[in-house]
Structure 1
Amino acid sequence: MGRDSRTSQDQGYLLDNRQSEAGTRFEALSALFDASTFRHFETVGIDKGWHCWEVGAGGPTVPAWLAERVGPGGRVLATDIDVSWIGTAGAEGVEVLRHDVALDAPPEGLFDLIHARLVLVHVADRDAALRSMIRALRPGGRLLIEDADPALIPQICPDAYGPEQELANRMRRGFRRLLEQRGADLSYGRKLPRLLRAAGLVEVEADAYFPVTSPACAVLEAASVRQVRDKLVAEGLATEEEIERHLAAVASGRLDVGTSPMISAWGRRPAEDGLG
Structure 2
Amino acid sequence: MTSDEGYLLDNRQSQAGTRFTALAELFDPSTFRHLDRLGVGPGWRCWEVGAGGVSVPAWLAERVGPAGQVIATDIDTSWLDGLSGVQVRRHDVGSDDPPGTGLDLVHARLVLTHVPQRERALASMVAALRPGGWLVLEDADPGLQPLLCPDESGPEQELANRLRRGFRALMAGRDADLAFGRTLPRLLRDQGLHDVGADAYFPITGPACTALEVATVEQIRGRLVDGGVATGAEIDEHLANIAAGRVPDLATSPMITAWGRV
What TM-score do the two structures reach when normalised by structure 1?
0.92
Counterpart check, 1:174 vs 2:166: yes
Question: What is the distance in 2 between the residues matched to 1:68 and 1:113?
Answer: 15
Alignment equivalent of 1:52, drawn from 42, 46, 57: 46
Q: Which moved more, 1:156-165 or 1:106-115?
A: 106-115
Question: What is the distance in 1 between the residues matched to 2:245 and 2:101?
Answer: 48
Counterpart check, 1:237 vs 2:205: no
Identity between Structure 1 and Structure 2 (%) = 65
Question: What is the distance in 2 between the residues matched to 1:156 and 1:44?
Answer: 32
Residue 118 of structure 2: aligned partner: 126
Alignment equivalent of 1:261, drawn from 223, 235, 254: 254
- Kindly indicate whether the alpha-carbon contact (under 8 Å) linking 2:101 and 2:127 is maintained by their aligned counterparts in 1: no
Could you say what the CA RMSD is over the residues aligned between the two structures, in angstroms?
A: 1.2
What's the CA shift for 1:92?
1.9
Question: What is the distance in 2 between the residues matched to 1:111 and 1:162?
Answer: 51
What's the CA shift for 1:44?
2.3
Q: Which moved more, 1:117-126 or 1:39-48?
A: 39-48
**After the TM superposition, which residues 24-173 of structure 1 pair with which residues of structure 2 at under 5 Å, given as runs?**
24-87=18-81, 90-173=82-165
SS in 2 for 1:226: helix
Question: What is the distance in 1 between the residues matched to 2:164 and 2:245?
Answer: 18
What's the CA shift for 1:40?
0.7
Map Cα deviations across residues 98-131 of structure 1 (whole Å, 9 max, x no partner): 0000100111332100100000010101111000
SS in 2 for 1:72: coil
Map Cα deviations across residues 45-64 of structure 1 (whole Å, 9 max, x no partner): 21210000000000001001
Question: What is the distance in 1 between the residues matched to 2:252 and 2:223?
Answer: 21
What's the CA shift for 1:42?
1.3
In structure 2, the gaps of 5 or more residues are none
Map Cα deviations across residues 239-259 of structure 1 (whole Å, 9 max, x no partner): 101100001111222311010
Q: Which amino acid aligns with 2:148?
A: I
Map Cα deviations across residues 14-52 of structure 1 (whole Å, 9 max, x no partner): 000001100010000001001110001012221210000
- Kindly indicate whether the alpha-carbon contact (under 8 Å) linking 1:218 and 1:251 is maintained by their aligned counterparts in 2: no
Q: Which amino acid aligns with 2:138?
A: E
What's the CA shift for 1:12?
2.2
Map Cα deviations across residues 66-99 of structure 1 (whole Å, 9 max, x no partner): 0000010000000001001011xx2321110000
- Kindly indicate whether the alpha-carbon contact (under 8 Å) linking 1:44 and 1:266 is maintained by their aligned counterparts in 2: no
Question: What is the distance in 2 between the residues matched to 1:203 and 1:177?
Answer: 35
Alignment equivalent of 1:200, drawn from 189, 192, 203: 192
- Kindly indicate whether the alpha-carbon contact (under 8 Å) linking 1:113 and 1:142 is maintained by their aligned counterparts in 2: yes
Matched positions, count: 261
Question: What is the distance in 1 between the residues matched to 2:101 and 2:129?
Answer: 9
Question: What is the distance in 2 between the residues matched to 1:202 and 1:252?
Answer: 49
Q: Which amino acid aligns with 2:136?
A: L
What TM-score do the two structures reach when normalised by structure 2?
0.97
Alignment equivalent of 1:210, drawn from 158, 178, 202: 202
What's the CA shift for 1:13?
1.3
What's the CA shift for 1:10?
6.0
